[in-house]
Chain A
Amino acid sequence: MTPGAEITSAAPPALAGVRRRRPKFRARDWLERESVFSWVLLAPPLLFLLLFLGYPFVYGLFLSFFHMEVAREPTFVGLGNFVRLWGDAIFWKAVRNTAEFTVLACLLKMIGGLGMALVMNQNFRLKALSRALLLLPFVVPTVLSTVAWQWILDPGMGLINRLLVVSGLATTGPSWLGNPTLAMLSIILVNTWRGLPFFGISILAGLQTVPTELYDAASIDGAGTWARFRHVTLPLLMPVILIVTTFSIIFTFFDFQLVYVLTGGGPANETHLMATYAFALSMGGGQLGLGSAAALAMMPALALVLVLLTLYVRRA
């Protein structure tokens, strides 16, 4: 099944109808109008999103203004839930953690992914195999890879600490999930491991669209490798880097599984993210209204991050 075939077979019913009534040029002309054609195309996805995203969203929004416990009658509390979160030290801890986690993990993935793409774009033996293998972390279900990381980060038996000890870098390795700072670093590390290939392959795709003539021209002008990268490659890659980074920010910001399986938000909330805290409030403590408010609070926070990113890019 190629994606192209899917698209052709996806003719909306409206257009199938047009073919039948081909002699009536009016209907066809009407459909050929840019705005009409646009809205005909837009109708199915919008309808779908309205039902399966719009409705739950409005419902969730609605919940966040209520005190609501499981299987009980909700009572309207206005901004009560938000006021409570505003004064909740754990919530703010989760906000700070989320910011730290998102920024650091995305930066690491961006730099690493760019490096990966530059390496993968060269010609070498086993190139195809390497490309496929380096994608693996992105492919394996997070739950399972995180279970593996439980062992890799183990203080005594873990691969990391064993390698540290064997190589003589340490007598006993550190406590990766017990030390508050290292626990945060660990979840960043695992998230980076998982997300790196996505950056790598997307930037690689971008790299391959850079016409070789541009390099040739730059080389003739006497530009070195770094100058070529800085002035030819990077500007052309910016759009794709931007899209991938934005995606990654969103997904990292909402990351849930990784923390849920690896640390549960511990030790002492040091790795609790907004998503896991909102989940704990509603799906652990049964505070459906409060949990919704905590989840909703992620939206302006994320929007802020994205606006800042856009502004930064515009200025640069």
Chain B
Amino acid sequence: MSKSTSSSLSTRRTLLKGAALGAAGLAGAPWLVRPAAAAVSQITFNRESAYVPLFDKHIREVMVPAYQKQTGIRLNYETDAAGGGAVPHLISIAQSRGPIDVAWVQAEAVYRDALLDVSDIGEAVGKAQGGWHEEVLRLSVWNGKWKSVPFGNIGQIMVYRRDWFEEAGIKDFPDTWEEFYEAGVKLKRKGHPFGMSMGHGFADNNSWLQPLMWSYGSQAVAADGKTITLDSQETAKSIDYVRKLYKDACIDDCVGWLDIHNNKAFLTSQISCTNNATSILISAKRDLPEMAKVIDHAENPRGPKGRFHALVPVNHGIFAHTPDPAATKAFLRWFMEAKNVGPLYAAGDMYYAPFLKGYDASPEWKKEPRFLPCQRLLTTGKLPLWPAPTDVKAGQVYATFLIADMFARACTGTSTRQVIADTVEQLKKIYAGA
């Protein structure tokens, strides 16, 4: 917490002293208390539990021991659920200077001020491994300083059943949103609707709704981070499109779906297409080998203004309150060295597509050609709420699901004009805020 915060909360300090005394008495059982060890001897590293279990296993069983052996520093590797507790946990850590040193800084825009400047690492890693794909730097680099080091993108793409598409007479995945709609109508008639998530999830909703908006030329907020540009013909068109797609081509349930629901529906053969990460194919390969053969991936369809994708970036950052910044930075630098991070990308089956251009032609990509759309979207992918800056306000828009809800409400009976007006009002409140 900053200096002036603590001075303005002076009463709090006195209260805290009392609390400390009381707690010292109450927490008398020493076997329960694990005091923070001396600064340098340990680093706590927090990430999401990776979808590909081998990824976490590689960190736990290869990287952690290697680093400990090399430096003598104990490395605690902790995992959280990305869609569950990770963001609240990271926010609470950032706010109260809690016991995490380096982490996947999910939703970093919201607590960027608590992160350490890691410009030297970001620049050095980029230089050594072919440079960075640019878009993610709008998130990592803030006011000229790197606040996080990009790691990889969770590719959000169209996942579909090739067999059912072919049965319906569709040889190639639809190229435009209109063709996508037509395909959906045919497939729904055959009992294989699409399932496009629009609920309060953390990725699968915006990962197709935002690209759809962009490809119709609709943008919620302008690049200046002030002007609300949502109220436009283009937005209205994209909403009308989604309403029609939902009604004629989708399963009813998808309007309330979280990120798990489309995986579940796809794997239980209830839907023929959804927008998701590669996790569906990976699950199918493990549990449903027959289905895995007929699953395919495609890039998002294009609209009048082109083809877009949404990035779900995974960046690593260091909390400024880490007891020994130099040691923590040394760890992150080591972590991102080609000889360490390369095998890690591979261990995760490129599930995290490297933002480093040096991996664009990696042989790892050839192992599963169906993952290639995830590699290609690194160039067409935009950050959430593009072209608006990735500031706290954008973070708020996402946390309150304004975009997904705009479409979901339109699908459940509210008029296009009304949902745009209501969303604009909400955006105005956020962007007018102090």
Which among A51, A73, A263 is the interface contact of B256 at CB below 8 angstroms? A263
Q: Which among A25-33, A108-116, A118-126, A150-158 touches the partner chain?
A: A150-158
Chain B contact residues, CB within 8 Å of chain A: 1-2, 4-5, 8-9, 12, 15-16, 18-19, 22-23, 26, 84, 87-88, 91-92, 94-95, 107, 110-111, 113-114, 198-201, 251-258, 260-261, 264-265, 268, 270, 392, 395-396, 398-401, 404-405, 408-409, 412, 422, 425-426, 429, 433-434
For chain A, give the interface size range: 35 or more
Q: State whether A263 and B258 are in contact (beta carbons under 8 Å apart), knowing that A71-B94, A284-B399 are contacts in the complex.
A: yes
Q: Are A268 and B88 in contact (CB under 8 A)?
A: no
Q: Are B253 and A266 in contact (CB under 8 A)?
A: no
Select from chain B the residue with minimum beta-carbon distance to A89. B422
A32-88 contacts to B (CB < 8 Å) = 47-48, 51-52, 55, 58-59, 62, 67, 69-75, 77, 80, 84, 87-88
Q: Are A265 and B8 in contact (CB under 8 A)?
A: no
Q: Are A89 and B111 in contact (CB under 8 A)?
A: no
Residues of B within 8 A of A137 (CB): none
Q: Are B396 and A287 in contact (CB under 8 A)?
A: yes
Q: Are A72 and B87 in contact (CB under 8 A)?
A: no
For the complex of A and B, the 8 pairs showing the least CB-CB separation, nearest first, are A284-B399, A264-B200, A285-B399, A267-B256, A266-B199, A286-B110, A71-B114, A283-B88
Residues of A within 8 A of B261 (CB): 150, 177
Q: Are B23 and A51 in contact (CB under 8 A)?
A: yes
Q: Are B91 and A267 in contact (CB under 8 A)?
A: no
Q: Beyond the given A67-B434, A177-B256, A270-B256, could you list 14 further A-B residue pairs with CB under 8 A, ordered by the A residue number?
A: A51-B22, A51-B23, A55-B12, A59-B9, A69-B110, A73-B5, A178-B251, A178-B252, A266-B257, A268-B255, A281-B396, A284-B107, A286-B110, A286-B399
Residues of A within 8 A of B92 (CB): 283
Q: Are A156 and B265 in contact (CB under 8 A)?
A: yes
Nearest CB of A to B6, in Å: 10
Residues of B within 8 A of A175 (CB): 251-253, 256
Q: State whether A72 and B2 are in contact (beta carbons under 8 Å apart), knowing that A48-B26, A84-B429 are contacts in the complex.
A: yes
Chain A contact residues, CB within 8 Å of chain B: 47-48, 51-52, 55, 58-59, 62, 67, 69-75, 77, 80, 84, 87-90, 150-151, 154-157, 174-180, 183, 261, 263-270, 279-288
Q: State whether A156 and B268 are in contact (beta carbons under 8 Å apart), knowing that A266-B199, A266-B256, A268-B408 are contacts in the complex.
A: yes
**A281–B88 Cα gap in the complex (Å)?**
10
Nearest CB of B to A77, in Å: 7
Which among A156, A265, A287 is the interface contact of B401 at CB below 8 angstroms? A265
Q: Are B253 and A178 in contact (CB under 8 A)?
A: yes
Q: State whether A150 and B264 are in contact (beta carbons under 8 Å apart), knowing that A178-B252, A283-B92 are contacts in the complex.
A: yes
- Best-surrounded residue of B199, B270, B405 (most CB of chain A within 10 A): B199
- Best-surrounded residue of A269, A283, A287 (most CB of chain B within 10 A): A283
Q: Are A58 and B26 in contact (CB under 8 A)?
A: no
Residues of A within 8 A of B110 (CB): 69-70, 284-286
Select from chain A the residue with minimum beta-carbon distance to B394. A285
Q: Are B256 and A178 in contact (CB under 8 A)?
A: yes
Residues of A within 8 A of B265 (CB): 154-156
Residues of B within 8 A of A178 (CB): 251-257
15 A-B contacts, Cβ less than 8 Å apart? A47-B22, A55-B15, A70-B94, A70-B114, A84-B433, A154-B253, A156-B265, A264-B200, A266-B198, A267-B255, A267-B408, A268-B409, A281-B399, A283-B91, A286-B396
Q: Are B256 and A281 in contact (CB under 8 A)?
A: no
Q: Are B200 and A265 in contact (CB under 8 A)?
A: yes
Select from chain A the residue with minimum beta-carbon distance to B2. A73
Residues of A within 8 A of B425 (CB): 89
Residues of B within 8 A of A51 (CB): 18-19, 22-23
Residues of B within 8 A of A90 (CB): 400, 426
**A84–B4 Cα gap in the complex (Å)?**
25
Q: Are B91 and A286 in contact (CB under 8 A)?
A: yes
Q: Are A286 and B111 in contact (CB under 8 A)?
A: yes
Residues of A within 8 A of B4 (CB): 73
Residues of A within 8 A of B398 (CB): 284-285
